[in-house]
């Protein structure tokens, strides 16, 4: 699919499942996941706060949350905000489900398929912040079409963000960072907020870190932290 294609990607690339789930993880898929999974067959509610068991005043989305470390930290730190976490990898979803159950979080909903479907389903200007953290870089040129950052998906992100809302991107792959900056420059709706080098070299306030970030640093790669704002 080219970047100019406005239709959502139905194909998911990469692994859907790794090692077998532990008994507790499998149990959470049976008892908790059906309660938290978004049902996109029905229209999104006019008031997006109705998606959550607890009262919330804002909505955030995290695409590709891995094992859920950042999602769980943010949901626990900001109980007045609703979170939609998207992760097609079964083992990552299982870890997040266990964490949600242990913490008793009522401000999280989940989706295990293509994030573009959720972005097309959500109401316009309903999201205060969207995070894309350490996404698969698909480093070979023939794989670049698989990268989530594309002209079409940036349109989707801009549509769901509120005025002043933020799209946050973190990666340790410099070519993907450059790719993202180049694509955002073409967007009429998103502006890079950096004013000095530390604005992309240092994590944003409250950043808890992730296991992917720790691995990157151990292997000598330097992460970048980009914030884009909807005008």
- Does 11 have pLDDT greater than 80? no
Is 199 marked active-site?
Answer: no
Of 196, 122, 203, 207, the closest CA to residue 165 belongs to 122
Taking only the tens place, the pLDDT of each residue in 163-211 is 999 999 999 999 999 999 999 999 999 999 999 999 999 999 999 988 8
In a domain, 135, yes or no: yes
Judge whether 51 and 88 are in contact, CB under 8 Å.
Answer: no
- Cα(222)–Cα(85) distance, integer angstroms: 25
The answer as to whether 8 is a domain residue is no
199 found inside a domain: yes
Q: Is 140 exposed, middle or buried (0-12, 13-18, 19+ CB in 10 A)?
A: exposed
174 within some domain: yes
Decide: residue 120, CB within 10 A, 0-12 exposed, 13-18 middle, 19+ buried. Answer: middle
pLDDT digits (tens, 9 = 90+) for 30-64: 899 999 999 999 999 999 999 999 999 999 999 99
**How large is the average pLDDT for residues 105-123?**
97
CB 74 within 8 A of CB 99: no
CATH of residue 131: 3.40.50.150
What tokens appear for 203 in the block?
Answer: 């994590």
Number of domains present in the structure of the chain = 1
In a domain, 18, yes or no: no
Phi, psi of 51 (to 5 degrees): -70, -15
Is residue 10's pLDDT more than 60? no
Cα torsion 19, 21, 25, 28: sign: positive
Give residue 27's pLDDT band: very low, low, confident or very high (50, 70, 90).
confident
Indicate whether 1 belongs to any domain. no
- Residue 6: pLDDT over 70: no
pLDDT tens profile 69-82? 999 999 999 999 99
23 pLDDT band, cuts 50/70/90, is confident
- Looking at residue 17, its pLDDT comes to 62
Question: What is the pLDDT at residue 19?
Answer: 73
Tokens 């870190």 label which residue? 209
**Residue 15 maps to a domain:** no
Choosing from 112, 114, 131, 136, the catalytic residue is 136
Domain ranges, residue 181: 23-230
pLDDT at 7 over 50: no
pLDDT at 91 over 80: yes
- pTM of the model as a whole: 0.90
* Per-residue pLDDT at 4: 36
Tell me if 30 is assigned to some domain: yes
Is the model's pLDDT at 14 over the cut of 70?
A: no
Question: Whose structure tokens read 């909505």?
Answer: 59
Q: What is the mean pLDDT of residues 142-151?
A: 94
Give the pLDDT score at 108: 98
Q: Are 31 and 54 in contact (CB under 8 A)?
A: no
Q: Where are the beta strands (DSSP E) in 64-192?
A: 81-86, 108-111, 127-133, 161-171, 190-192
């Amino acid at each position: 699919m080219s970047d100019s294609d406005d239709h959502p990607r139905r194909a998911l690339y990469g692994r859907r499942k790794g090692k077998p789930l532990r008994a507790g993880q499998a149990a959470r898929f049976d008892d908790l996941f059906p309660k938290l999974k978004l049902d996109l067959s029905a229209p999104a509610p006019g008031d997006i706060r109705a998606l959550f068991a607890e009262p919330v005043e804002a909505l955030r989305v995290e695409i590709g949350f891995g094992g859920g470390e950042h999602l769980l930290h943010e949901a626990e730190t900001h109980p007045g905000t609703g979170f939609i976490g998207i992760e097609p990898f079964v083992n990552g979803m299982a870890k997040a489900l266990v964490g949600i159950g242990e913490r008793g979080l009522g401000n999280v909903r989940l989706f295990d398929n293509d994030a573009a479907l959720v972005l097309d389903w959500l109401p316009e200007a309903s999201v205060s912040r969207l995070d894309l953290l350490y996404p698969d870089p698909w480093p070979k040129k023939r794989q670049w079409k698989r990268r989530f950052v594309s002209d079409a998906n940036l349109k989707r992100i801009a549509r769901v963000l509120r005025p002043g809302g933020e799209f946050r991107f973190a990666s340790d792959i410099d070519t993907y960072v450059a790719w993202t900056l180049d694509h955002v420059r073409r967007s009429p709706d998103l502006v890079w907020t950096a004013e000095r080098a530390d604005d992309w070299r240092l994590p944003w306030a409250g950043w808890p870190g992730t296991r992917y970030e720790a691995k990157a640093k151990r292997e000598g790669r330097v992460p970048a932290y980009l914030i884009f704002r909807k005008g």
